Structure 1
Amino acid sequence: MLFWQQIVLNTQDQSIMKFLTQPPRFLFFTGKGGVGKTSIACAAAIQLAETGQRVLLVSTDPASNVGQVFGINIGNHIIAIPNITGLSALEIDPQAAAQVYRNRIVDPVRGVLPDSVVKGIEEQLSGACTTEIAAFNEFTALLIDSVLTADYDHIIFDTAPTGHTIRLLQLPTAWSDFLEAGKGDSSCLGPLAGLEKQRSQYTAAVDALADPVRTRLILVARAQQTTLREAARTHEELAAIGLLQQYLVINGILLAGETEGDSLALAIFEREQAALNAIPDVLKTLPCDYIMLKPFNLVGLDALRQLLIESAPQTPVAMDSPIELNAPTLSELVNGIAADGHGLVMLMGKGGVGKTTLAAAIAVELAHRGLPVHLTTSDPAAHLTETLNGVLDNLTVSRIDPHAETERYRQHVLDTKGAKLDTQGRALLEEDLRSPCTEEIAVFQAFSRIIREAGKKFVVMDTAPTGHTLLLLDATGAYHREVARQMTGGIHYLTPMMQLQDPKQTKVLLVTLAETTPVLEAANLQDDLRRAGIEPWAWIINNSVALAQPHSPLLRQRALNELDKITSVADGYSQRYAVVPLLKKEPVGIGCLLELSRYAGD
């Protein structure tokens, strides 16, 4: 029996998803970017609220799009969702949380301590480390019994893509261990922060996460080998820290009925079936739900209510409706990049839009032209080597590994600053370097080191999903401000931020899909970059169904839905853009990546 037949049999009479059966108080949705975590979390929240439960939906993604899904502004405060009794939402905003955190520490000493001391405290609290801890404190406050959470039967967490989420869920234990040692410098938590209060809150958070009666983790994946492998890795990493109550949801499956007379639909179907039949062994034991691909965008209450219903009605589409799309290609963008001979090319965007594939395709094409290229990634969950699946002259590949970079940074500090300390001082320094904040500093230094190479060659960087990238840029900005403050008397200096702001040295490519929320998120990212003095060079609209000219009714409806989104990019967001089609064959391997970079239409 084919896997899709099993799915149909298993879901025919299913009125509720397994992951929503007897739900605990805390539900975490996690997975690789673009698998549908936000949509499923929102749909689950609606379903629970409409059964009379009081539900708080929380986004821990620094680039949350929960508000976009509901069509409202949410932000860093709890608000009621209109037209859904019992449902409220909160988007944890790291920057807003950091400002509240700084005010709480600094305001009591203003007018008490000298202005120079207060300014020093503010400088100490201006970095990315403070931003992460402030957001983390808001997250752990939701896992303990308090006035803040007393009104809710269920708290649903829509998390950032996997790499960031694993770090978030590991942090309660990391900070508890660090504080329990009681020997380290407390500077990462800020002066006068009150370590005892933090210790008790983090301990309570650890207990809640490890309690299967209170916490359930839902791993969301697509019927794709990469997302299923990542779900398997996430399962094992989080099980190792005690999160054992795990469920699996496989989203966006194309059924066989859509393949008739459509070679693209048939190729997608066969690819998905191969991935489902080769599902990693560690996932086979988990309770599993399947969600079929829908023809509509998952925005608004009506669409969200239909997501978890397998018999959702489809909008009829006229098979002779023209799908007219004439758009610039990726090859045209690569020509413009290659003309400079060297430079930094950064691909940014929402998780799951295909940054890794497009970064690899651009790097491969530049290297194939004889240009020296360093392809790298700052995404903890990226799989560049799997995408390349081969080697090429003129191309080197690396990954900013947070664990390796942290160890390198710790050793460097011990060899330099530590070499001048006595035994007691060195022991204190070693304790301080065990702080989870050390990772942020180490990753920033690795990022800075790599982009310096762009003066002599091409450096193509596949960045982490939007929220994590913004935190990295926050660290870059904090470093720039500190250097600028210290450099006086006309001394010449060049910071990584100055390089990112120089269009002659850096080209930022925003990657999106022709769907509502990815386009809105890319637009918000563009606004954030502009506020930092960084002007995106171009947009890439990836995996376009419209450009692939499908025949399946479901895919044609999705293709027609894309056209106004592509127009909005061309007319409202970027004069320079390219559209890349959804391909029959996955773009894996040097040859396929070259085909993708040179695609000129059928």
Structure 2
Amino acid sequence: MDPTRYVFLTGKGGVGKTSTASNLALTLANRGKHILLVSTDPASNLQDVFEMELDETPRLVTGTTLEIANFDPEQAAKQYMERMVGPYRGVLPDVAIQSMEEQLSGACTVEIAAFDQFTELLTSKVARERYDHVIFDTAPTGHTLRLLTLPSAWDEFLETNTTGASCLGPLAGLTDKQVQYKQAVETLTDANETTLLLVARPEKSTLVEAARAATELRAIGIERMQLVINGVVESSEGTDRYTKRFIERQQQALDDLPDGVVDLETFTLPYAYENLVGISALQRFVSREPVAISDARYDTSRYESVDQLVDELEADGPSVIMTMGKGGVGKTTLASLLAVALHERGHAVHLTTTDPAAHVALTIGADVSETFTVDAIDPKAEIEKYRTDVFREAGDLNEEQRMMIEEDLRSPCTEEIAVFRAFADQVAKAKDRFVVIDTAPTGHTLLLLDATESYHRELERSTGVVPEAVRTLLPKLRDPKQTHVIITTLPEATPVYEAERLTADLQRAEIQPFAWVVNQSFTPLDVTSKLLVAKVASETTWLERVSNNPRPTILSWQEQLPVGYSALSQLIKEEVR
């Protein structure tokens, strides 16, 4: 590669963006370049990879010219709120201060505060002078695209908003940033300054996601893109049926690249034979040092089967079931599998997703019957419904009043509010049926859940009406008989760390996880190749760690990806012990 000054990595969750960003940063640092590696992901695990405590202040990796920083969007939101509210404390009445804090307590504030940090770095003269390259380990694709399109969106919104208020509260804290935002847009779209690395694995779903991202990025003026395919295995490794099929599936994906990425300059990274955690492991991977292979294998007798998990879900009767975890761990497949299992036992089931990057329709197909229905929350459709409802509830308006509401609805926050309301409507369906929700990647999901009270207030402010589904949502999510949260992970370091952080955040919100599912494990399989023996050994630590959580359940790696109702039904039969 001949990297530009700014490099962004994006891709479907779980493809290895952080390890790829870390390897790129370390490689350049080993060549004597001064590098800043920064995460803008609310669900970042950069601190886990480098085994360092990180915050927004860059810290030097010992023995290198590499510095690392980790933006904390929630902390940035608190600082942003205080910058907005602080000057008025002791000046305005307490009730006015409380109102300002409420307006600034939602997910939108987290979004704009994180974006504010991001653009400051992108336009910083100090960073330009200090570093040869700034590498952004960004969030999963949906969030990254939102982050990259925000400069134009906020620029337009700030120019046209005349009321001085939006769902973000007073805009005084933003209007002085318009020049900074314009500079950020110019830098992002300058091919001499910025490269977008689309990271994928040699798997169809991640390559399709990369192609979709490439199309959307071109639409906002970003042309310099390259493709990195992570975890490619040499064909000579195949010595057992599972390894051969593993390599065969990779090759099929590589031979059939989607149109959106087929013409991009492409780089490949080899499969890692150890977990890339710690500077020593990263340096071994960068220098291609041989890795000692262990033959350790974990005893999974403490784990439940999916069939046993369904027994326990069924015992509580109709409820909400949410699969949650880091992007790319198989939440969509697990949600579909549980939905099919419950339907096979004679229950009415509704399967849906709040994740704009999910593929429920591809995994399960359309509605199976009157008692098995499938849909997805479409953000564009939900925004239009929300707009219609706002104007209907507002009643007769004069032209000035209509313009004020139109301005408010042009805020990028509107999508978050509209999708949240649709999520509440889905949860409310769990009266006479199981509602299985494939939720968004961790960061977005937590914003959605944590913002319940904020959105309650925002809906009341915008429409004067809070739907029943919204009023009853949080109590329902906290009731272990009405809501079952299934933490989904892989037997790997990053997904397990992320699942643990997710669990802690849920518990702070008084939501207790019902079960943990380890997906795509090779440990239950009879493998003999160097590749998969190493993979099984690397799973040991993480399977032991997960086993201490409620109802640990294991799903083995599948030779054929289960697509469609029949394939999922057959998988359930095979997994029964």
Sort the TM-score into its range (normalised by shorter chain): over 0.9
Per the TM alignment, residue 595 of structure 1 is displaced from its structure 2 partner at its CA by 2.9
Q: Which moved more, 1:151-160 or 1:214-223?
A: 151-160
What secondary structure does 2:417 align onto? helix
Residue identity matched to 1:544:
S
Instruction: Please give the per-residue CA displacement for 1:13-50, whole angstroms capped at 9, x wherever unaligned.
Output: xxxxx3xx2x1111100000111001000111111222
Indicate which of 64, 78, 81 corresponds to 2:44: 64
Contact 1:253 1:293 (C-alpha < 8 Å) held by counterparts:
yes
1:332 corresponds to 2:312: no
Per the TM alignment, residue 257 of structure 1 is displaced from its structure 2 partner at its CA by 1.3
1:468 corresponds to 2:448: no
Contact 1:377 1:463 (C-alpha < 8 Å) held by counterparts:
yes
1:152 corresponds to 2:131: yes
CA–CA separation in structure 2 for the residues paired with 1:80 and 1:536: 35
Instruction: Please give the per-residue CA displacement for 1:303-331, whole angstroms capped at 9, x wherever unaligned.
Output: 2224455x44132445xx66643231111
Aligned residue pairs: how many?
A: 569
Indicate which of 257, 275, 280 corresponds to 1:279: 257
1:428 corresponds to 2:404: yes
Map of 1:500-539 to 2, 5 A cutoff? 500-539=477-516
Task: Sort the Cα spacing of 1:409 and 1:484 in 2 relative to 1 into closer, same or farther, 3 A.
Answer: closer
Contact 1:329 1:599 (C-alpha < 8 Å) held by counterparts:
no
Contact 1:40 1:307 (C-alpha < 8 Å) held by counterparts:
no
Indicate which of 3, 16, 20 corresponds to 1:40: 20
Instruction: Please give the per-residue CA displacement for 1:191-214, whole angstroms capped at 9, x wherever unaligned.
Output: 262443121121111111111111
Map of 1:85-104 to 2, 5 A cutoff? 85-104=64-83
Map of 1:439-588 to 2, 5 A cutoff? 439-479=415-455, 494-571=471-548, 574-588=549-563
CA–CA separation in structure 2 for the residues paired with 1:24 and 1:482: 42
Task: Sort the Cα spacing of 1:452 and 1:530 in 2 relative to 1 into closer, same or farther, 3 A.
Answer: same
Residue identity matched to 2:378:
D
Indicate which of 396, 419, 429 corresponds to 2:373: 396
Residue identity matched to 2:556:
P
Instruction: Please give the per-residue CA displacement for 1:167-189, whole angstroms capped at 9, x wherever unaligned.
Output: 11111111111122244653244
Indicate which of 29, 42, 47 corresponds to 2:9: 29
Per the TM alignment, residue 390 of structure 1 is displaced from its structure 2 partner at its CA by 5.7
Per the TM alignment, residue 148 of structure 1 is displaced from its structure 2 partner at its CA by 5.9
Task: Sort the Cα spacing of 1:478 and 1:249 in 2 relative to 1 into closer, same or farther, 3 A.
Answer: same
Contact 2:164 2:172 (C-alpha < 8 Å) held by counterparts:
no
What secondary structure does 2:510 align onto? coil
Task: Sort the Cα spacing of 1:293 and 1:477 in 2 relative to 1 into closer, same or farther, 3 A.
Answer: farther
1:263 corresponds to 2:241: yes
Partner of 2:279: 301
Instruction: Please give the per-residue CA displacement for 1:541-580, whole angstroms capped at 9, x wherever unaligned.
Output: 0100111231111111110121221111113xx1311011
Task: Sort the Cα spacing of 1:527 and 1:317 in 2 relative to 1 into closer, same or farther, 3 A.
Answer: closer
CA–CA separation in structure 1 for the residues paired with 2:456 and 2:474: 6
CA RMSD of aligned residues (A): 2.2
CA–CA separation in structure 1 for the residues paired with 2:426 and 2:297: 47
What secondary structure does 2:430 align onto? helix
Residue identity matched to 2:251:
Q
Per the TM alignment, residue 438 of structure 1 is displaced from its structure 2 partner at its CA by 0.7
Instruction: Please give the per-residue CA displacement for 1:360-383, whole angstroms capped at 9, x wherever unaligned.
Output: 100111122221111111111001
Task: Sort the Cα spacing of 1:239 and 1:84 in 2 relative to 1 into closer, same or farther, 3 A.
Answer: farther
CA–CA separation in structure 1 for the residues paired with 2:459 and 2:217: 39
Map of 1:326-365 to 2, 5 A cutoff? 326=301, 327-365=303-341
Partner of 2:105: 126
Per the TM alignment, residue 499 of structure 1 is displaced from its structure 2 partner at its CA by 1.0
Partner of 2:465: none
Contact 1:317 1:553 (C-alpha < 8 Å) held by counterparts:
no
1:213 corresponds to 2:192: yes
CA–CA separation in structure 1 for the residues paired with 2:289 and 2:375: 44
1:291 corresponds to 2:266: no
CA–CA separation in structure 2 for the residues paired with 1:228 and 1:284: 10
Task: Sort the Cα spacing of 1:184 and 1:364 in 2 relative to 1 into closer, same or farther, 3 A.
Answer: farther
Residue identity matched to 2:567:
C
What secondary structure does 1:587 align onto? coil
Instruction: Please give the per-residue CA displacement for 1:263-305, whole angstroms capped at 9, x wherever unaligned.
Output: 0111111111111111112312111011121211111112222
Residue identity matched to 2:85:
V
Per the TM alignment, residue 112 of structure 1 is displaced from its structure 2 partner at its CA by 1.3
CA–CA separation in structure 2 for the residues paired with 1:173 and 1:484: 28
Partner of 1:8: none
CA–CA separation in structure 2 for the residues paired with 1:254 and 1:371: 42
Contact 2:489 2:499 (C-alpha < 8 Å) held by counterparts:
yes
Partner of 1:315: 292
What secondary structure does 2:100 align onto? helix
Residue identity matched to 1:451:
V
What secondary structure does 1:90 align onto? strand
What TM-score do you get using the length of structure 2 for normalisation? 0.94
CA–CA separation in structure 2 for the residues paired with 1:535 and 1:119: 30
Instruction: Please give the per-residue CA displacement for 1:482-512, whole angstroms capped at 9, x wherever unaligned.
Output: 8999xxxxx9x95311111110110001001
Task: Sort the Cα spacing of 1:392 and 1:444 in 2 relative to 1 into closer, same or farther, 3 A.
Answer: same
What secondary structure does 1:353 align onto? coil
Task: Sort the Cα spacing of 1:460 and 1:162 in 2 relative to 1 into closer, same or farther, 3 A.
Answer: same
Partner of 1:14: none
Contact 1:259 1:552 (C-alpha < 8 Å) held by counterparts:
yes
Contact 1:247 1:287 (C-alpha < 8 Å) held by counterparts:
yes
CA–CA separation in structure 1 for the residues paired with 2:63 and 2:341: 50
Contact 1:25 1:155 (C-alpha < 8 Å) held by counterparts:
yes
Contact 1:164 1:380 (C-alpha < 8 Å) held by counterparts:
no
Partner of 1:78: 57
Task: Sort the Cα spacing of 1:454 and 1:81 in 2 relative to 1 into closer, same or farther, 3 A.
Answer: farther
Per the TM alignment, residue 425 of structure 1 is displaced from its structure 2 partner at its CA by 1.4
Contact 1:294 1:554 (C-alpha < 8 Å) held by counterparts:
no
What secondary structure does 2:351 align onto? strand
CA–CA separation in structure 2 for the residues paired with 1:347 and 1:547: 22
CA–CA separation in structure 2 for the residues paired with 1:390 and 1:440: 26
Residue identity matched to 1:587:
P
Contact 2:294 2:537 (C-alpha < 8 Å) held by counterparts:
no
Q: Which moved more, 1:586-595 or 1:181-190?
A: 181-190
Residue identity matched to 1:568:
R
Per the TM alignment, residue 430 of structure 1 is displaced from its structure 2 partner at its CA by 1.2
Residue identity matched to 1:553:
K
Partner of 2:352: 376
Give identity over the alignment, percent: 47
Task: Sort the Cα spacing of 1:429 and 1:481 in 2 relative to 1 into closer, same or farther, 3 A.
Answer: closer
CA–CA separation in structure 1 for the residues paired with 2:564 and 2:555: 17
What secondary structure does 2:323 align onto? strand
